[in-house]
Each structure stands twice: as C-alpha cells, then as structure tokens.
Amino acid sequence: MAIPIVLDHGSPQSLQGQIFEQLRHLILGGKLKPGTPIPASRVLAEQLGTSRNTVLLVYDRLIAEGYLQARKAIGTYVNLELPETCLAAARRIATSVPVEGEAVKRPIIPFIGQTQAKKPHQHLDFDFCPDRIDLDLFPHKIWRRFINRTFASSSTHFTECCDPGGLLQLREVIADHLGIARGISVSSDQVIITAGSQEGLNLAARLLIKDGTLVATENPCYHGAASLFQSYYASLVPVAVDEAGLDVEQLPKEGVMLLYVTPSHQYPLGFTLPIERRLKLLDWARRCGAYIIEDDYDSDFRYRGSPLTALMGLDDYGCVMYLGTFSKSMGAGLRLGYLVVPKALMQAARSAKALLNNGHAWLDQATMAEFIRSGAYGNHLRRMRHLYCKRRDCLVEALRQHFGTVDLSGLESGLHLAWHLPNNYPVASELQELALRHGVGIYSIGPGTAYDYGECNYSARTLILGFSSLNEYQIRAGVRRIADAFKGLRMN
C-alpha cells in the first residue's frame, strides 16, 4: 500500500517534519484506521525518495507519542487505542474546519443542463414507453460469436487507443449502409463514431454554439436535444409542427445558426417531412447560412412505402449534419451511434471529438463493424422490422377495438405512435395519471417525453404510446386496462 504523502523539497519545514505531520493527519483524520499496518521504513523511504533513517526517526517519534505501535518481528501498526493526548489533537483539527458562513468561496458552476426526467416505471404492468425497445430481442448468441471472433483476432488492438473519430472499419460500413439505406453519399472520413446520438449532439453543439446562439427546434421536440442546447447557453427558437412535420414557412428568415429536426419520424408526433419541405428546408439553410442537425433516430423501422431520401442525401450545400444511432436497432446500452458531418467540418469535428473523449472501445466498434459487414445486422433489422410492424398493427387494432375511430399519427415508421384525443376527452396529462394509477404507462407531451415550449397545438390532447418493448399479448392487455381505467370518465 502506498501512503499518500507528498514532500515539498522547497519547503522550509524539514522532510522529517513533513512526513511526521502528514502521517499524523492521516491517522487523526481516520484515513489510516487503528490496526492498519504501516509500510516498512525501507519501503516508505524508497517511495518518498528519502533516506531510510529519516523515516525511522519519524516512526520512532510517532511510536513515542502513541500514534503507532511496533510489534516485534511483525511490523508497525496504527495504535488500536489512540491515547487521549492524540484524540485532543484530533478534536482541534476537526474544530478548525471553517464553520458555516465563513466557508471557502468557490466559483459558481455555470452548467445549466438537466437530464431527461423520465425514470423507468418498474412498478407498471404495461409500459408503452416511447424510448424503450424489447431487450429480449437482442441477438445474444450471434453477438457473442462475433465478440469472441473479434477478440481472438485482436492482438494488441484491444488495448491500443483508437482513432478518436472511430474505428475505420466501422466508419466504412456505416458510410456504405447510409448510401444504400438513406441515399447519403459520404466518405468514411465524414463519419464520427459517438456514444449514441447524445454525444453526436454534444459534438455538433460544441462546434456551433456559444452564448446566445439562436438554435431552432421543432415544437415539441426531443428533450435530450433541447436540454443539451440550453446547457451550451443557446437561445432556443420554437418552430411549429403540423401533420407534415416541421412547418418550414415558420422558420425565422435570419439569425438562426442551427436547426435540429427529425424529418423521418418527427419526435414525438411521428409525422414524416415530405420531399417538398425537405428541399425548402435546405434552401432556407443555404439562405440563412445555418446548419441543420438531422436526427434519424428510428428510420431503420419503416413499415409503409420506401423511405424518403434523408435530408443529408439531398444536401448540395454542405449544411446538414446527420445523427444516427444503434440505440433503437440494437440497444441503448451499447452506446454506439455516429455523427456524419459535411466535408468542411470534418477536421474541426474530429478535433472536438478527441477533446471530448479520444474515442471508443475497440472491441465494441470492431464487433459492430463485423456484424454489419457480414450481413447479420441487415438480417437483424429485417427481423425487428417485421416484429415491430406486427406490434404496431396490434396496438392500432386494440385501440380501435376499445375506442372506435382513433386519430393516430406516426404509423409509417418508428417505434411509437401519437394518439390525438377527441375534444370530449379529458386532457392527456390527466389520462396519463389515470392510466399510471392502473399500472399502465402512456405519455402526454411534457417533461420526460418531449420538450414542449408551451404554445404547441398538440400539447394538451396527444398521448404518446411506444409499442416496441411490449409483446402482442401485453399490448392487448395494456389497452384493455386503459379502456377499463377510462370507463368511469365523464366525456363532455
């Protein structure tokens, strides 16, 4: 055990005095507890770079004053019972701590962010949580095989520091995947591996936001994004959403530096931004000199028609940054995602990433790269898409069975839908509470689900229901329970 003693060779106090004082403080402060063995004098002298004699003299003095006890042929220990004279010294040290009011002044921490508020409702029987997937569907067996194979071929890679921008093999397969799946043509140098989308957002914010930067977002929008921008002291500008997603006409004509948007499946309302709006959006960004963050968090799950080309795939101006994540397809616990940046931001983004954390664990990245390259990821996605599509259908059918005609959005893709309540229903927050009391999680638009600026058409009368973490039996039983809970309500 190395004892934490630091010697100041420039101090007027002798080395012997410094060692004595620091050991005494460690004992009186309880850091070296009664009965703890003290290193042999030779060992401590070596650790401190002093002569053994200096340490021996200190030990002799501590033994003489009752702090230490020498046990013949065994070693030196902190005394089991410190004498009253030592304890009086300890009390003096304790009372010399500054009392309230004269506490040392420290600078105020400027950080203003908050985490997403929602905690998993473990007590719920059926949780239609929008941001959770079915963890039992993770391809354990195959993943284990890929990990073992990758590890066996690792040699020194396993412990060597990776490129901060991410493992080349993973960046390459992601670039290829984006070309096929999202119509985005990029080089692997433009892809930066991140710890999920959240770190991608951090990276983008680090590049573009300073105090007071105007950042526009959809209203309502993903809480994780709005809170993050606020933590960088951005001034948020809400932009209305209608049944075709972000209302491009409502964007400020100038001043905005960054727009955060979810075109594939507006979070949380689930609308898809049509191609005309996508093109208008790019024109707006070019005119304003703004950047766009395109969060494509659940676009792997498209159930109806072909996916629209991503904004970044349509971008001729180099203004779109694309956020992707494996949190929805594989599991949020993997903490793997990526930010794709325009060529002009490549160097800056790589430097910012190195400052953030110098890159990710080699094994996770190499396994994911091999998983995608081998085609196993494609197979996994197809399987999940099929299953989640059936769960979505099951939820829609159950809602119709119990509530008749229901106004739903977000059905074309993703892992949750929005239920727009008729005017004669109580407000969504009331229904959320009622369902929670009956052991079912359904969510209104508010803290924990989404960031709502307060002037949104959908705030009061929309419920969000995720269908990816419940099986069909649970979905049916959950909706039945909601219907029972709502039975006693007066619908005006």
Q: Which is nearer to ligand PLP, 126 or 267 (CB)?
A: 267
With vertex at residue 45, the alpha carbon angle to CA 43 and CA 49, rounded to the nearest 5 degrees, is 125
Residue 401 backbone phi and psi in degrees, to 5 = -60, -40
**What are the angstrom distances between the C-alpha of 302 and each of 305, 357, 412?**
8, 33, 6
Burial 23-59 (b: 16+ CB within 10 A, else e): bbebbbeeebeeeeebbebeebbeebebeeebbebbb
Please, what is the minimum distance in Å from the beta carbon of residue 68 to ligand PLP?
A: 53
Q: Which is nearer to ligand PLP, 331 or 439 (CB)?
A: 331
Q: Which is nearer to ligand PLP, 337 or 410 (CB)?
A: 337
Of positions 50, 197, 227, 468, contacts ligand PLP by CB under 6 A: 197
* Range in contact with ligand PLP (rule: CB under 6 A) among 44-52, 191-199, 360-368, 435-443: 191-199
Does 327 bind ligand PLP (CB under 6 A)? Our answer is: yes
Does 413 bind ligand PLP (CB under 6 A)? Our answer is: no
Q: Which is nearer to ligand PLP, 131 or 315 (CB)?
A: 131
Residue 323 backbone phi and psi in degrees, to 5 = -105, 125
* DSSP state string for 281-310: HHHHHHHHT-EEEEE-TTTT-B-SSPPPPP
Please, what is the minimum distance in Å from the beta carbon of residue 326 to ligand PLP?
A: 8
Q: Which is nearer to ligand PLP, 48 or 293 (CB)?
A: 293
Of positions 222, 322, 425, 458, contacts ligand PLP by CB under 6 A: 222
Does 267 bind ligand PLP (CB under 6 A)? Our answer is: yes
Does 131 bind ligand PLP (CB under 6 A)? Our answer is: yes
Q: What is the rounded CA–CA span in Å between residue 47 and residue 69?
A: 21
Which two tokens mark 78? 């902190």
* DSSP state string for 249-281: GGS-SS-EEEEEE--SS-TTT-----HHHHHHH
Q: Which is nearer to ligand PLP, 252 or 448 (CB)?
A: 448
Handedness of CA 457, 460, 461, 465 (dihedral sign): positive
Does 458 bind ligand PLP (CB under 6 A)? Our answer is: no
Please, what is the minimum distance in Å from the beta carbon of residue 70 to ligand PLP?
A: 58
160, 175 contact by CB (below 8 A) = no
Please give the residues from 358 up to 377 whose contact with ligand PLP meets the rule CB under 6 A. Answer: none
Q: Which is nearer to ligand PLP, 317 or 453 (CB)?
A: 453
Who contacts 171 (Cβ-Cβ below 8 Å, separation ≥6)? Answer: 165, 188, 189, 191, 192, 193, 338
Does 300 bind ligand PLP (CB under 6 A)? Our answer is: no
Q: Which is nearer to ligand PLP, 38 or 310 (CB)?
A: 310
Of positions 166, 245, 263, 337, contacts ligand PLP by CB under 6 A: 337
Of positions 198, 202, 227, 413, contacts ligand PLP by CB under 6 A: 198
- Comparing CA positions, the residue from 169, 191, 167, 168 lying closest to residue 179 is 191
**What are the angstrom distances between the C-alpha of 430 and each of 267, 426, 437, 460, 490?**
21, 6, 11, 10, 12
Please give the residues from 14 up to 73 whose contact with ligand PLP meets the rule CB under 6 A. Answer: none
Of positions 262, 266, 299, 409, contacts ligand PLP by CB under 6 A: 262
Please, what is the minimum distance in Å from the beta carbon of residue 83 to ligand PLP?
A: 57
Contacting residues toward ligand PLP, per CB under 6 A: 131, 196-198, 222, 262, 267, 295, 297, 325, 327, 332, 337
